[in-house]
Amino acid sequence: AKRWAWAPGREGAMDLSKVNEAEEEEEETITADALRGRPRPLPISAMPAFSYIPLRREDPKELSYFLRQRQTGVISLYDCVFKRRLDYNQVLHRDDREHAKSLGLHVNEEEQERIVPVLASSVYGKRINQPIEPLNRGYGRVNHILADFYRKNDIPSIKEPGFGHIAPA
């Protein structure tokens, strides 16, 4: 049918304006999809059986990785590109890195809320409020005995400034 598209009166000829409009619409949809960055979905035969991942999870916070409710909404591509913060953050090594050195994140709070910490470095400070061993005051008498010994024997080198000279009695 395409080879007769140029001949308007012949059998099987197509209206060129309709063909051009269809091609333009197809080009517009392709460019819009390309701008949004959507990858083409895999064919069903190439997808594993349990590969469906929902776009937004509305599960309770106990089932999420961060143990927090989701706070961000849908941010459009226009807002990401044109509505950026223009102020300069001099604390950051490079200002274009939004979460460099975890600035603006609450990593420690998230780790304290977890039952089992995810970060290996968080294990060391996880149970700072829960001592590993109970306090043992069994050896507290040693300091008392030493102080009593020096007090009874009246050793002058401890009382006087200077070191080591003991006068004969």
pLDDT tens for the chain, 169 residues long, are: 445 555 555 555 555 566 566 666 666 666 665 666 667 777 777 777 777 766 677 778 888 777 777 776 778 889 888 888 777 777 767 666 666 677 777 777 877 777 777 777 766 666 666 667 777 777 666 666 666 666 666 665 555 655 555 555 5
CA distances for 112 relative to 18, 76, 124, angstroms: 64, 33, 11
Number of domains in the chain: 2
Specify whether 65 is located in the same domain as 117: yes
Q: What is the pTM of this model?
A: 0.32
Residue 51 lies in a domain: no
Domain limits at 30?
2-46
Q: What is the pLDDT of residue 24?
A: 67
- The answer to whether residues 101 and 92 touch, using CB atoms and an 8 Å cutoff, is yes
Specify whether 113 is located in the same domain as 67: yes
